[in-house]
């Protein structure tokens, strides 16, 4: 084993596909929603355990007793997705969609693709059963690689439209209730507009008001379109990690605002923003501080902090690297300029085979993120031909 010295940073190297460790976003689909189906609950409250990975909530679901299968919960999507591989395993439970076998959808970055349509006879989520659910078939393999766990599909917002949906991030759970129990929702309501079948709410930024998407399928915190706003910055925009979307990857520009973000009665001081030219959105990086309840029947969203604690200042810890992942190695897709990783001479295209001496196959995204939260340097082992070379990288705050 040898240790590497600094090298020059290569410029202009291409990188491949993937939802990357630097960030992930499942885009909102802004086209035709699924038709109504039947929903039944086993009682007035169904609690579904959830887990958080890369700021994304996922739950286990069943198809007519078969499973469990992992589904992400994406309030920014107006459709539900399942993988073609899962559909092929259960052909009797997936029905053709009728005369229009494909649907064109548009992602958050503006690109469009055609996806096959199908219908699930019955999808079970804890004590909740959803019948005749229209879905699109989409290969979640890049997302599975990004998170380090198999993802079988995505639950879009319309599947919950007949219910009260609560995303309890601090409690790691989903709660499903009938609409008639809306008087029991904690927190302050924020008016919402679901005309596009995804929830839009009005937030305050300084002395201005903005319409933003509540997007649990985005790992970013606060994505801001600055057009016409002229935001003021404490830390000006700088290069961030790569962000993967359905339409491809883009390099993030991140900044820290001087103006507070107001969300109902909550104030987030000096929020971190991911600058975008698409619709502004609140993603999992910010939502994870809240218990968020959607009441689509009354066009409102509730944001609640357990114990009425004030929201904490947003931080972005980074290794300075974005990766595409396989069980055998993580390929460096991008290096943030000016980061400790760049100073160590790490360049795109290099292959990481160990983290702190353990094979990368033992590291899922959640475990890697916990490592970045500390201040201890991490040791990355790179494969150069047949030689393993080590580099020590200090995690850092991307924005002071």
- The reply to whether 175 and 219 lie within a common domain is no
- The reply to whether 159 and 196 lie within a common domain is no
Of residues 221 and 145, which shows the higher confidence score? Answer: 221
Per-residue pLDDT tens over the stretch 339-380: 999 999 999 999 999 999 999 999 988 888 889 988 899 999
Whether pLDDT at 15 is above 50: no
Beta carbons of 120 and 93 less than 8 angstroms apart: yes
pLDDT of residue 184: 74
Whether pLDDT at 96 is above 60: no
The answer as to whether 3 is a domain residue is: no
Residue that terminates a domain, selected from 182, 207, 228: 182
The whole-number average pLDDT for the span 222-236 is 94
pLDDT of residue 232: 95
CATH of the domain at 86: 2.40.70.10
The CA distance from 82 to 257, in Å, is 38
> What percentage of the chain reaches a pLDDT higher than 90?
50
pLDDT band at 313 (very low <50, low <70, confident <90, very high): confident
Of residues 37 and 147, which shows the higher confidence score? Answer: 147
The CA distance from 158 to 134, in Å, is 10
The answer as to whether 276 is a domain residue is: yes
Of residues 381 and 398, which shows the higher confidence score? Answer: 381
- The reply to whether 153 and 198 lie within a common domain is no
DSSP labels for 89-123? H-GGGEEE--S--EEEEE-TTS-EEEEEEEEEEEE
The whole-number average pLDDT for the span 100-106 is 66
Residue that terminates a domain, selected from 117, 152, 182: 182
- The reply to whether 48 and 150 lie within a common domain is yes
- In angstroms and rounded to an integer, the radius of gyration of the C-alpha atoms of the chain is 21
- The reply to whether 53 and 139 lie within a common domain is yes
The answer as to whether 16 is a domain residue is: no
Which helix (H) or strand (E) element contains residue 41? strand 38-41
- The reply to whether 160 and 106 lie within a common domain is yes
Contacts of 112 (CB under 8 A, 6+ apart): 104, 105, 106, 247
Whether pLDDT at 6 is above 50: no
pLDDT of residue 8: 27
pLDDT of residue 10: 27
The answer as to whether 12 is a domain residue is: no
- The reply to whether 176 and 42 lie within a common domain is yes
The whole-number average pLDDT for the span 214-221 is 92
Beta carbons of 286 and 222 less than 8 angstroms apart: yes
Residue that terminates a domain, selected from 135, 159, 182: 182
The whole-number average pLDDT for the span 380-388 is 93
Write down the mean pLDDT value for the chain: 83
- The reply to whether 159 and 256 lie within a common domain is no
Per-residue pLDDT tens over the stretch 232-283: 999 999 988 876 655 456 678 999 999 999 998 899 999 999 999 889 999 9
> What percentage of the chain reaches a pLDDT higher than 70?
82
The answer as to whether 307 is a domain residue is: no
DSSP labels for 229-247? T---EEEEEEEEEEEEETT
| Residues in a beta bridge with 304 | 291
pLDDT band at 155 (very low <50, low <70, confident <90, very high): very high
The answer as to whether 10 is a domain residue is: no
Contacts of 385 (CB under 8 A, 6+ apart): none
- The reply to whether 173 and 195 lie within a common domain is no
The whole-number average pLDDT for the span 199-221 is 93
pLDDT of residue 147: 78
pLDDT of residue 36: 45
Tokens found for residue 153? 């599909």
Of residues 173 and 14, which shows the higher confidence score? Answer: 173
The answer as to whether 296 is a domain residue is: no
Range of the domain at 264: 191-285
Q: Of the given ranges (193-197, 279-283, 333-337, 354-358), which has the lowest mean pLDDT? A: 193-197
pLDDT of residue 369: 86
Which helix (H) or strand (E) element contains residue 274? strand 272-275
- The reply to whether 177 and 198 lie within a common domain is no
- The reply to whether 105 and 211 lie within a common domain is no
The answer as to whether 20 is a domain residue is: no
Of residues 20 and 391, which shows the higher confidence score? Answer: 391
As for how many domains the chain has, the answer is 3
CATH of the domain at 326: 2.30.42.10
- The reply to whether 167 and 200 lie within a common domain is no
The CA distance from 54 to 19, in Å, is 11
């Amino acid at each position: 084993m040898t240790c590497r010295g600094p090298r020059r940073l290569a410029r202009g190297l291409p990188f491949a596909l993937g939802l990357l460790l630097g960030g992930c976003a499942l885009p909102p689909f802004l086209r035709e929603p699924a038709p109504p189906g039947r929903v039944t609950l086993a009682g007035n409250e169904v609690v579904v355990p959830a887990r958080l990975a890369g700021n994304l909530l996922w739950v286990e679901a069943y198809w007519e007793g078969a499973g469990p299968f992992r589904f992400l919960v994406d309030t920014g999507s107006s459709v539900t997705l399942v993988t073609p591989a899962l559909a092929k395993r259960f052909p009797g439970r997936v029905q053709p969609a009728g005369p229009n076998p494909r649907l064109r959808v548009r992602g958050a970055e503006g690109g469009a693709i055609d996806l096959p349509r199908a219908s699930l006879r019955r999808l079970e989520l804890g004590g909740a059963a959803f019948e005749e659910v229209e879905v699109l078939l989409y290969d979640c393999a890049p997302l599975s690689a990004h998170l380090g766990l198999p993802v079988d599909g995505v639950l879009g917002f319309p599947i919950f439209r007949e219910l009260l949906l609560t995303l309890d991030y601090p409690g790691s759970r989903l709660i499903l209730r009938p609409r008639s129990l809306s008087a029991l929702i904690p927190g302050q309501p924020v008016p919402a507009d679901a005309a596009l079948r995804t929830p839009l709410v009005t937030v305050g930024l300084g002395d201005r008001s903005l319409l933003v998407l509540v997007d649990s399928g985005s790992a970013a915190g606060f994505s801001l379109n600055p057009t016409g706003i002229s935001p003021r910055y404490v830390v000006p925009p700088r290069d961030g990690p790569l962000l993967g979307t359905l339409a491809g990857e883009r390099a993030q520009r991140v900044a820290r605002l001087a103006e507070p973000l107001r969300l109902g009665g909550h104030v987030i001081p000096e929020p971190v923003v991911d600058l975008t030219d698409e619709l502004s959105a609140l993603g999992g990086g910010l939502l994870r501080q809240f218990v968020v309840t959607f009441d689509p029947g009354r066009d409102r969203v509730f944001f609640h902090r357990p114990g009425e604690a004030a929201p904490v200042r947003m931080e972005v810890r980074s290794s300075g690297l974005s990766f595409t992942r396989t069980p055998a190695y993580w390929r460096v897709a991008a290096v943030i300029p000016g980061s400790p990783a760049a100073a160590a001479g790490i360049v795109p295209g290099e292959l990481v085979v160990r983290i702190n001496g353990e094979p990368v196959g033992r590291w899922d995204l959640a475990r890697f993120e916990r490592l970045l939260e500390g201040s201890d340097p991490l040791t990355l082992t790179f494969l150069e031909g047949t030689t393993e070379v080590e580099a020590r990288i200090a995690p850092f705050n991307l924005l002071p």
